[in-house]
Amino acid sequence: MEAKLYNQKGEEKGKIKIPTSIFNTKWNADLVYQVMTSMMSNTRKAVAHTKNRGDVRGGGIKPWRQKGTGKARHGSSRSPIWKGGGVTFGPRNERDFSKKINKKMKVKALYTLFSQKFRDNEILFIDSIKLSEPKTKEAKNILSNFAKVSGFEKILSKKNNSALIILGKNNINTTKSFSNFSNTEVINVKNLSSVNLLKYKHIVITEPEESIGLLLSKSKK
């Protein structure tokens, strides 16, 4: 397979070969859904916490004697049926929401999303992004250049979750330059997940040969 390669000025430089295993995988909605829900569950933190009858202060003494009062029998004023008592089956912060995800499933879901993005013309291959120093103005100019490419006209104007810029290797100047854009995120390909791909409309892959090589290595680990 081949794809068009551009520079940071938005000019077409030629073609680049891309592997079919990453960019021509059949769509599998069930797999993507299963991996996504599992990954989101793994990042979920239990915050809500209620006290059961053992956590509530007081209630150590029996409210009244067992017999002779005409009242129902009670052993503690901190029983869940009493006001101020413990809570039955309430949320607890020790609850574990994590789910196991097979490594092959994670990689296959990632490749599946790349393939669908490529078919939808939402992936832009850039040879490299070079900035001599962190400059938001320069980053905006680069996004404006990308907007000249067919299918990416709204990469700069889209209000939310516009573009995910994938770096083949860390570049502090690029990361800092794009950090002031709330609708854009810069990430190293090593830290990439399916959640990132689904969150953003446009995907910009820089240093494609190196980036794709690292993506291929994920399936070999």
CATH of the domain at 134: 3.40.1370.10
Between CA 55 and CA 197 the distance in angstroms is 44
73 plus 20 within the same structural domain:
no
pLDDT digits (tens, 9 = 90+) for 101-135: 999 999 999 999 999 999 999 999 999 999 989 99
Residue 173 contacts residue 89 (beta carbons within 8 Å): no
| 131, 177 contact by CB (below 8 A) | yes
Within this chain, do residues 141 and 175 fall inside the same structural domain, yes or no?
Answer: yes
DSSP assignment of 16-72 equals EE--HHHHSPPP-HHHHHHHHHHHHHHT---------TTTSS---S-SS-SSSSSSP
Does residue 220 have a pLDDT over 80? Answer: no
Do 182 and 117 lie in one domain? The reply is yes
- C-alpha closest to that of 123 among 153, 154, 151, 145: 151
Residue 37 in any domain: the answer is no
Mean pLDDT of the chain, nearest integer:
93
Across residues 53-82, what is the average pLDDT? 91
- Kindly state whether residues 21 and 127 are assigned to the same domain: yes
Considering the domain architecture, whether residues 20 and 120 belong to the same structural domain is answered as yes
Is residue 22 included in any domain, yes or no? yes
| Residue 32 lies inside a defined structural domain of this protein | no
Which pLDDT does position 157 carry in this prediction? 87
Percent of residues, the chain, with pLDDT higher than 90: 85
Tell me, yes or no, whether 19 and 119 share the same domain. Answer: yes
Amino acid identity, position 214: L
Q: In this model, does residue 219 exceed pLDDT 90?
A: no
Task: Judge whether residue 215 has pLDDT over 70.
Answer: yes
Query: Is residue 40, in this structure, part of any structural domain at all?
Result: no
Predicted local distance difference test score (pLDDT) of residue 58? 86
**Residue 119: left if φ>0, alpha if ψ -120 to 50, beta else—which one?**
alpha
Confidence of residue 41 (pLDDT cuts 50, 70, 90): very high
Q: What is the total count of domains within the chain?
A: 2
Check residue 221 and give its pLDDT: 66
Does the residue 33 lie in any domain?
no
Look up the domain containing 81 and give its range.
Answer: 45-96
Instruction: Note whether 207 and 173 are same-domain residues.
Output: yes
Checking if the pLDDT of 177 tops 70, the result is yes
> Of 59, 80, 96, which residue is a domain's last?
96
Amino acid (1-letter code) at residue 74 = H
Mean pLDDT across the stretch 79-93?
92
Q: Assess whether 16 and 123 both reside in one domain.
A: yes
80 and 151, same domain (yes or no): no
| Residue 35 belongs to some domain of the structure | no
The verdict on residue 34 lying in a domain is no
If asked whether residues 122 and 192 sit together in one domain, one would say yes
Contact by Cβ (8 Å): 29, 148:
no
Same-domain status, 22 and 90? no
Residue ending a domain, among 96, 112, 136, is 96
